[in-house]
Chains A and B, each alone.
Chain A
Amino acid sequence: MTDGWVMVIGLEVHCELKTTTKLFCGCPNMFGNEPNTNVCPVCLGLPGSLPVLNQKAVELAMAIGTALNCDIRPSTFHRKNYFYPDQAKDYQISQYDEPINVDGWLELPDGFRVGIERAHMEEDTGKTTHVGATGRIHGADYSLVDYNRSGVPLVEIVSDPDLRTSAQARAYVTELRSVLVATGASDGKMEEGSMRVDANVSVRRSADDPFGTRCEIKNLNSVRSVGRAIDYEAGRQIALIESGDRVMQQTRHWDEDAGRTVTLRSKEDAYDYRYFLEPDLVPLVPDADWKAAVADALGMMPAQRRARLADLLSDAGSVTDARTEQVATVVDLGLDDLVVEAIAGGIPTALALARTANEAATDPEAARQLDTGSYVALLSMEAAGTLSATQAKTVLAELLAAGGGDPSAIAREKGFEAMSDNSLSATVAQAIEGNPDEWARYCAGEDKLAQVFIGQVMKSTRGQANGKAVVTELQRLRG
């Protein structure tokens, strides 16, 4: 579809900050409460009310700027004027020509650096629900507005137009999400609207041509929609140009169900926001000490954490694509510390990574709370063959549920006594007896038939046996 064409993509990501209270008042910043319960004169825009800037929100914005390698600068707030029912004051307080963070970059896992033009602070709007057949404003019987979200702090992160494929755009959103979670600024829940993406897309015939006319796509609420919408939109623009038409600068809405973008408004209809300096607020000038304190409090970013695990894998000489994928998973879920500590505790790198990326990752919340001592003790038992993989996984589930514990005690309760060599030999002998043909072929060198015997032994021991020990016994008998 895009043969012979180059896309140019820039993304604007709105991130709700995970503060206790809203940006300009003391109302709770909470998702999912009864409509219009987290409201006060300020976030309802009642006459006479005035905004007071939330210091914690500023600190999170500075943390985002630091993580995105931005300059953190003295900044001001402006009013962006437009009428909309969910906009309580009919203007939005937003940073305009003097944003707090400018000129940064984000490095993607493949090493590609995406420029960050700015990451500025602003307040969120309320939420309008149009009640009627269409669910859209046109044709609605009536509309309901919930102001619980009104005044929730946002940081809008604007990338440079550096992205060239939808896959790159998806990688950018995924990485940015991890960074935002790592800073503590966001919970990264795109499905709850904690992160919302707008994409600016244009196409050109070659990378040497000037940028084409762009369209802005709104309403991208998942990494998947970002990719689909960009591909659709680029295709639409290419088809227009190839049919001799031209692309009009527009704002377009992504219709997830229909899988296409539709016109919201054209450039001629663009609002005149009449930005001017917000007279109810004073300039924000973070001093060097404050900036340093925010930077010091910032943990490692995902890129550094992936590098740390990649180094450990390469030290162990066990780099594979699957393991690199596991590294990305554990870093994304914030479980990489668990892996690092397990390796430091003597657990083989591949085992530490696999158990964390596959099993611990099924309940990341619990895994992040897990007592690392218990985890290391469990993996030691598995590494030593005291527990089979199946048994280890069962014990891990117990540890996750309880937040920790003594894995050997749990193993005893479960009756996971390691099988003695004698009883294992007897069980293996039984399996050989029941499968004489397979045994003959195994003896002739078909190693993969070991699986048949392992399967039999596991079946008769209800998974209690250690697979490795079975193989050792088979090899011993084969001589």
Chain B
Amino acid sequence: MTPPRSALDLAAAIRNGEASAVEVLDDYLAVIDAHDGEIHAFNLVTRDAARAQATAIDQRVASGEHPGLLAGVPVALKDNLCTRGVPTTCSSRILDGWRPPYDATVVTRLREAGAVMVGKTNMDEFAMGSSTESSAFGPTRNPHDTSRVPGGSSGGSAAAVAAGFAPVALGSDTGGSIRQPAALCGVVGMKPTYGTVSRYGLVAFASSLDQIGPLTTTVADAALVFDVIGGHDPADSTSLDRPAPRVLSVLDEGIQGMTVGVLTEFLEDADADVVARTRQAAEACAAAGARVEEISVPEVRLGLSAYYLIAPAEASSNLARYDGVRFGLRVDAEDTTAMNTATRSVGFGAEVKRRIMLGTYALSAGYMDAYYGQALRVRTKIIEGFARAYRRCDVLLGPTTPSTAFSIGAKVGDPMTMYLSDVCTIPTNLAGHPAISIPFGSGDDGLPVGVQLLAPALAENTLLRAAAVIEAAAASMGGSRS
């Protein structure tokens, strides 16, 4: 396979007339046709609509218009992003047959920037999972080793980018669902600050944690996509009312004089080969002029338990609307309540049911304060812990995941072990901060390793400058990736 072209290069080539959007699309569709049967990154490839969009881009170029920052760039969308008239399933049977009457705000912004939407990617059902195995439509396979999982829940998006099906995909990250599969598939995955990217049209899992972000082959592409999809949206009340981000333009400014804190707790949780890569990434930061120190934020150890109360609690409410009354699956029964029960029993998979029950319990009378209330107090503690760290450090560094990609089926029967895959990514979501996973060499098994950078709220500029340094160091290591 030739090295994938970045979205930046592709868009430039298409705008300059050096490449045609339709030809670019056809190249990617050919790769999809050849390999997606095995990988199963997509739930749906929107071939005809994509070709129509690409044709329109070529016409705009021909007529001398500026077709946008992502002109002609194929983009894959996680199947929990609403697309007008195009099935949006969340990889669940319960949304069977539903076609949203509207586009998510990010989809509109991508379209306005000239992107070409190629299809909807597979995911853990309702984004609940870390391996894409809880999809009702079967698992996605890791393009680096098809016996392994791609991670999750945005496993289809990560696999699509890793397999060369699209240079850009969007995912959603509630507890690591962009960064963890990015790490396992060897691509860049970014979770922006909560409130910088509109959630309007993202099918909610846990509203106070969900955030949409890019999966790309380069840090610069992540910055480019973030610049396109970010910025205030009046349709999302939690969207921050500030100017649209402009991260791409500062990427090359380096990290001279910054302080990079290597997060002790994340290292303690990770395998030796992953720790080794993380330490190499820290050395690369030092070599680029940053001060590197190890720092402890003990509160992050509480993240996993708090998350598995807060996220299911919100999910139990967010998923109540799948009742068979207005859209999606309906399993008929003798009365409304029986119909609700039958629909939800058939429509939801085991992991979704498990989390709805967990969340319902955590919010129920008599238990609410001990579970949900306590989890919210822990959340505050974690925010305070990070605040303390960021008084000393500009960014924090650690592994994205404790290990490289595990085998399909290995953790399906043991939810607690599966949940531990997200131990390094969850604290950021609870704090609402931005973070990014950058591919950094490989593990002892030859599979990709991702290192993660964390930054305080709205410090995407700092975050991506440091990410660019680590990306360059990874490229110069060259051969370490087998």
Question: With A47-B204, A52-B237 as given contacts, are A274 and B82 in contact (CB-CB < 8 Å)?
Answer: no
0 or 1 for each of A39-56: is its CB under 8 Å from B? (1 = yes):
001001111111111000
Interface, chain B (partner A; CB < 8 A): 80-82, 88, 90, 95, 98, 100-102, 104, 199-204, 206-208, 234-238, 313-314, 316-317, 320-321, 323, 325-327, 335-337, 340, 360, 363-365, 368, 372
Give the complex CA separation of A36 and B238 in angstroms.
Answer: 28
Instruction: Judge whether B237 and A44 touch: CB under 8 Å.
Output: no
Instruction: Judge whether B100 and A47 touch: CB under 8 Å.
Output: yes
Residues of chain A with a CB closer than 8 A to B235's CB = 50, 52
Contact of B360 among A46, A79, A274 (CB under 8 A): A274
From residue A114, how far is it (CB to closest CB) to chain B in Å? 30
Residues of chain A with a CB closer than 8 A to B199's CB = 50
Residues of chain B with a CB closer than 8 A to A276's CB = 313-314, 317, 363, 368, 372
Residues of chain A with a CB closer than 8 A to B207's CB = 279-280
Q: In chain B, what residue has the closest Cβ to A80?
A: B317
Give the complex CA separation of A137 and B88 in angstroms.
Answer: 33
> At the interface with chain B, which of A15-23, A86-94, A161-169, A402-410?
A86-94
Question: With A47-B88, A279-B314 as given contacts, are A52 and B204 in contact (CB-CB < 8 Å)?
Answer: no
Instruction: Judge whether A282 and B237 touch: CB under 8 Å.
Output: yes
From residue B268, how far is it (CB to closest CB) to chain A in Å? 31
Give the complex CA separation of A53 and B234 in angstroms.
Answer: 10
Residues of chain B with a CB closer than 8 A to A75's CB = none
Q: In chain B, what residue has the closest Cβ to A36?
A: B326
Most B CB within 10 A of own CB, among A51, A52, A137, A279: A279
From residue B91, how far is it (CB to closest CB) to chain A in Å? 13
Instruction: Judge whether B372 and A46 touch: CB under 8 Å.
Output: no
Residues of chain A with a CB closer than 8 A to B200's CB = 48-50
Instruction: Judge whether A274 and B317 touch: CB under 8 Å.
Output: yes
A143 within 8 A of partner (CB):
yes
Question: Knowing that A53-B237, A279-B238 are A-B contacts, what are 4 other residue pairs whose CB atoms are under 8 Å apart, sorted by A's residue number?
Answer: A47-B88, A48-B200, A85-B325, A137-B335
Instruction: Judge whether A143 and B238 touch: CB under 8 Å.
Output: no
19 A-B contact pairs sorted by A residue (CB < 8 Å): A46-B327, A47-B82, A47-B90, A47-B100, A47-B203, A47-B204, A48-B81, A48-B82, A48-B104, A48-B203, A52-B235, A52-B237, A81-B317, A81-B363, A91-B317, A91-B320, A137-B336, A274-B368, A282-B238
Contact of A48 among B201, B208, B336 (CB under 8 A): B201
Instruction: Judge whether B323 and A48 touch: CB under 8 Å.
Output: no
Residues of chain A with a CB closer than 8 A to B104's CB = 48
A281 within 8 A of partner (CB):
yes
* Segment 125-148 of A: residues with Cβ below 8 Å from B: 137, 143, 145
Contact of A272 among B203, B204, B337, B364 (CB under 8 A): B364
Most A CB within 10 A of own CB, among B82, B95, B104, B326: B326
Residues of chain A with a CB closer than 8 A to B80's CB = 48
Residues of chain A with a CB closer than 8 A to B100's CB = 41, 46-48
Q: In chain B, what residue has the closest Cβ to A90?
A: B320
Residues of chain B with a CB closer than 8 A to A49's CB = 200-201
From residue A250, how far is it (CB to closest CB) to chain B in Å? 19
Residues of chain B with a CB closer than 8 A to A137's CB = 335-336
Give the complex CA separation of A44 and B100 in angstroms.
Answer: 12
Give the complex CA separation of A83 and B340 in angstroms.
Answer: 9
Give the complex CA separation of A79 and B314 in angstroms.
Answer: 10
Instruction: Judge whether B364 and A50 touch: CB under 8 Å.
Output: no
Q: In chain B, what residue has the closest Cβ to A79?
A: B317
Q: In chain B, what residue has the closest Cβ to A272?
A: B365
Contact of A45 among B102, B236, B326 (CB under 8 A): B326
From residue A78, how far is it (CB to closest CB) to chain B in Å? 10
Instruction: Judge whether A280 and B95 touch: CB under 8 Å.
Output: no
From residue A382, how far is it (CB to closest CB) to chain B in Å? 57
Give the complex CA separation of A119 and B208 in angstroms.
Answer: 27
Question: With A90-B323, A145-B325 as given contacts, are A280 and B363 in contact (CB-CB < 8 Å)?
Answer: no
From residue B149, how far is it (CB to closest CB) to chain A in Å? 26
Instruction: Judge whether A51 and B237 touch: CB under 8 Å.
Output: yes
Give the complex CA separation of A276 and B318 in angstroms.
Answer: 12
Give the complex CA separation of A303 and B173 in angstroms.
Answer: 56
Give the complex CA separation of A217 and B201 in angstroms.
Answer: 40
Question: With A274-B364, A279-B314 as given contacts, are A48 and B204 in contact (CB-CB < 8 Å)?
Answer: yes
From residue A130, how far is it (CB to closest CB) to chain B in Å? 10
Question: With A83-B323, A272-B364, A274-B360 as given contacts, are A50 and B237 in contact (CB-CB < 8 Å)?
Answer: yes
Q: In chain A, what residue has the closest Cβ to B372?
A: A276
Give the complex CA separation of A448 and B368 in angstroms.
Answer: 79
Instruction: Judge whether B202 and A48 touch: CB under 8 Å.
Output: yes
Q: Which 7 residue pairs of A and B lie closest in terms of their CB atoms, listed nearest first?
A: A90-B320, A279-B207, A274-B363, A279-B208, A47-B203, A48-B82, A48-B201
Instruction: Judge whether B365 and A280 touch: CB under 8 Å.
Output: no
Instruction: Judge whether B317 and A83 touch: CB under 8 Å.
Output: no
Give the complex CA separation of A212 and B87 in angstroms.
Answer: 56
Give the complex CA separation of A55 and B396 in angstroms.
Answer: 41
0 or 1 for each of A49-78: is its CB under 8 Å from B? (1 = yes):
111110000000000000000000000000
